[in-house]
C-alpha cells in the first residue's frame, strides 16, 4: 500500500475546469471514452494497478471547500456561479475508471458522461507518474537541488525578459516536487513567472491559474459535427461561453495549416493569441505572424504561448527568433516539475471516442503538426486528411 493520494479537487489543470464549465452548459448528455497511452513504453511493477485503484477510489472523498469556491469566484469572474455550485456538489465516481495490469503493462480507460469524466485525465496521469517513481524506489534529487535548479531557470527566463507559467501537473514527479517548484517560483524576487496551470497550487500560493482549452475540445467537435466544421464550431462555442475571456486558441488539433484557414477575421481579432503545442516552433511563428498581417492586424498586439516540450535552449531560440515580431509567453511543464535527476515519464491520456444517440462509438483523432504523430483510428485519420485536404 502506498500513500500517494490527491489532496484537493482543484489539484488539476485549469483548462479542465474551464472546459467542464462549457460542457455542462452545451453538452450535458454526451458520453465519451478516454484511454491511457504509454508513449515511453514504461514498465509497471507488480501491484501497480491495485495501488492506482486505491488512489482512484480515495478521490471519491474529494470535494470543493468553501475557501476553494471563494478563490474560484474571486479569481475567475468569467466562470458562472451556477458552475461553481455544480462543482461544489461534484464527486469523482471511481466506477468510471477501468484499470488493468498484465505483467508490466498498464491499461487505463475512462468512460461516462463527458461533463463528469472530463476531470479524470490530469489526476490519473499525475498519480501514475508519482506511483511509478515511488513503487520503483527511484531516488530523486534533494529538495535543495530542486529549488536551486528552479531558481536558476527562473533567473535565466527573467534575463530573457519573457513571461512563463508552470504547466507540469500531468507529468510531475510528485505532488511534493510541484509544491516545491511553485513555491520557489512564487518567492523569487524580480521574476517573470505569471502563474500555474494547477488550480490548487495557484490558490495555495496566490498566483494566477493559467489555461483555456485542450485538444479534446476540438476532437469532440469533429466527432459531433464533422472534420470540416470542428475548428470553427469549437471556437464559436468557446466564444459563446466566455464572451472574449480565456482568449488563447489551441491551433494544432487538425494541423496548424487547417486551423489558420478557418481562423477567420472575427476569431483572429477576438482571440488574444494562439498556443503552439507541436511541430517546429519557428515555422509556427512565421505562419502566425503571416496570418495576422494578412488580416490587417499588427502581430505585436497578439501573442503565442509556446508549450511543447520546452527547455531553456528551446525558449532561448524561440525568444530570439520572435523578438520584435510578435508577443511570446511560455508554458513549461516537465522541465520544471520533473527535473529531479530521473528520467521523466512520457505518458498521455486521450479522448478516443464519442457515443452517438444510437449507442455507436465515433472514434476521435488528432492530426499533430509533428509528422508521424497522428493519433486515433487509421481509417478516421485518412478520412480527415481527405476532407481537410491534408497531404503528407
Per-residue pLDDT band for 370 (boundaries 50, 70, 90) equals confident
**CA–CA gap between residue 92 and residue 300 (Å, rounded):** 43
Task: Identify which has the larger pLDDT, 6 or 4.
Answer: 6
Specify whether the CB–CB gap between 68 and 10 falls below 8 A. Answer: yes
Q: Per-residue pLDDT tens for 82-134?
A: 999 999 999 999 999 999 999 999 999 999 999 999 999 999 999 999 999 99
- Edge-first strand order for the sheet with 163-166 is 208-209, 193-196, 163-166, 327-332, 303-306, 273-276, 248-250
- The CATH number of the structural domain formed by 143-337 is 3.20.140.10
- pLDDT attached to residue 148: 98
Q: Per-residue pLDDT tens for 161-174?
A: 999 999 999 999 99
Per-residue pLDDT band for 265 (boundaries 50, 70, 90) equals very high
Please provide the DSSP assignment of 14-76 as one string.
HHHHHHHHHHHHH-TT-EEEEEEE-TT-----TTHHHHHHHHHHHGGG----HHHHHHHHHH-
Question: Is pLDDT of 1 > 70?
Answer: no
Question: Is pLDDT of 47 > 90?
Answer: yes
- pLDDT attached to residue 371: 75
Per-residue pLDDT band for 2 (boundaries 50, 70, 90) equals low
Specify whether the CB–CB gap between 127 and 52 falls below 8 A. Answer: yes
Q: Per-residue pLDDT tens for 189-212?
A: 989 999 999 999 999 999 999 999
List, in sequence order, every beta strand (DSSP E) within the chain: 31-37, 97-102, 105-113, 163-166, 193-196, 208-209, 248-250, 273-276, 303-306, 327-332, 348-355, 361-363
Question: Is pLDDT of 239 > 90?
Answer: yes
Superfamily of domain 14-139+346-387: nicotinate phosphoribosyltransferase (3.20.140.10)
Say yes or no: do domains 14-139+346-387 and 143-337 share a fold.
yes
- CA torsion through residues 165, 320, 248, 376, sign: negative
Per-residue pLDDT band for 391 (boundaries 50, 70, 90) equals confident
**Domain residue limits, the chain:** 14-139+346-387, 143-337
How many helices (H) and strands (E) are present in the chain, helices listed first?
17, 12
- pLDDT attached to residue 318: 98
Q: What percent of the chain has pLDDT over 70?
A: 99
Average pLDDT over every residue of 178-191 = 96
Q: What are the Cα distances from residue 109, in Å, to 86, 91, 335, 379?
A: 25, 18, 27, 21
Q: Per-residue pLDDT tens for 303-355?
A: 999 999 999 999 999 999 999 999 999 999 999 999 999 999 999 999 999 99
Q: What percent of the chain has pLDDT over 90?
A: 96
CA–CA–CA angle 79, 124, 362 (5° rounding): 75
Specify whether the CB–CB gap between 135 and 45 falls below 8 A. Answer: yes
The CB density around residue 218, as the number of other CB atoms within 10 Å, is: 25
357's CB contacts (< 8 A; 6+ apart) are none
Specify whether the CB–CB gap between 303 and 326 falls below 8 A. Answer: yes
Average confidence score pLDDT of the chain: 97
Amino acid at each position: 500500500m502506498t500513500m500517494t493520494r490527491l489532496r484537493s479537487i482543484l489539484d488539476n489543470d485549469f483548462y479542465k475546469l474551464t472546459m467542464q464549465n462549457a460542457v455542462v452548459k452545451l453538452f450535458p448528455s454526451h458520453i465519451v471514452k478516454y484511454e491511457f497511452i504509454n508513449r515511453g513504453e514504461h514498465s509497471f511493477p507488480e501491484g501497480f494497478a491495485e495501488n492506482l485503484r486505491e488512489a482512484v477510489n480515495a478521490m471519491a472523498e474529494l470535494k470543493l471547500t468553501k475557501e476553494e469556491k471563494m478563490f474560484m469566484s474571486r479569481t475567475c469572474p468569467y466562470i458562472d456561479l451556477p458552475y461553481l455550485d455544480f462543482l461544489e456538489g461534484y464527486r469523482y465516481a471511481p466506477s468510471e475508471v477501468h484499470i488493468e495490469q498484465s505483467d508490466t503493462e498498464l491499461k487505463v480507460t475512462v468512460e461516462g458522461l463527458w461533463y463528469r469524466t472530463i476531470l479524470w485525465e490530469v489526476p490519473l496521469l499525475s498519480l501514475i507518474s508519482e506511483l511509478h517513481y515511488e513503487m520503483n524506489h527511484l531516488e530523486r534529487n534533494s529538495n535543495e537541488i530542486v529549488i536551486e535548479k528552479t531558481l536558476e531557470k527562473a533567473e535565466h527566463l527573467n534575463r530573457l525578459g519573457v513571461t512563463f507559467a508552470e504547466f507540469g501537473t500531468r507529468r510531475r514527479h510528485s505532488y511534493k516536487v510541484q509544491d516545491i517548484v511553485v513555491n520557489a517560483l512564487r518567492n523569487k524576487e524580480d521574476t517573470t513567472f505569471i502563474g500555474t496551470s494547477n488550480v490548487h497550487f495557484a490558490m495555495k500560493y496566490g498566483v494566477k491559474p493559467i489555461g483555456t482549452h485542450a485538444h479534446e475540445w476540438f476532437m469532440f467537435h469533429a466527432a459531433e459535427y464533422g472534420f470540416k466544421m470542428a475548428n470553427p464550431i469549437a471556437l464559436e462555442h468557446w466564444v459563446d461561453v466566455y464572451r472574449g475571456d480565456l482568449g488563447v486558441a489551441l491551433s494544432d488539433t487538425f494541423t496548424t495549416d487547417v486551423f489558420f484557414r478557418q481562423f477567420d477575421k472575427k476569431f483572429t481579432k477576438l482571440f488574444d493569441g494562439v498556443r503552439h503545442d507541436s511541430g517546429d516552433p519557428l515555422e509556427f511563428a512565421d505562419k502566425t505572424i503571416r496570418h495576422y498581417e494578412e488580416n490587417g492586424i499588427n502581430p505585436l498586439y497578439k501573442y503565442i504561448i509556446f508549450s511543447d516540450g520546452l527547455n531553456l535552449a528551446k525558449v532561448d531560440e524561440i525568444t530570439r527568433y520572435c523578438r520584435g515580431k510578435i508577443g511570446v509567453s511560455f508554458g513549461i511543464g516537465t522541465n520544471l516539475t520533473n527535473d529531479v535527476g530521473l528520467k521523466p515519464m512520457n505518458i498521455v491520456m486521450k479522448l478516443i471516442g464519442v457515443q452517438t444517440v444510437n449507442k455507436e462509438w465515433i472514434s476521435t483523432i488528432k492530426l499533430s503538426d509533428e509528422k508521424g504523430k497522428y493519433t486515433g483510428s487509421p481509417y478516421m485519420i485518412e478520412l480527415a486528411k481527405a476532407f481537410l485536404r491534408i497531404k503528407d
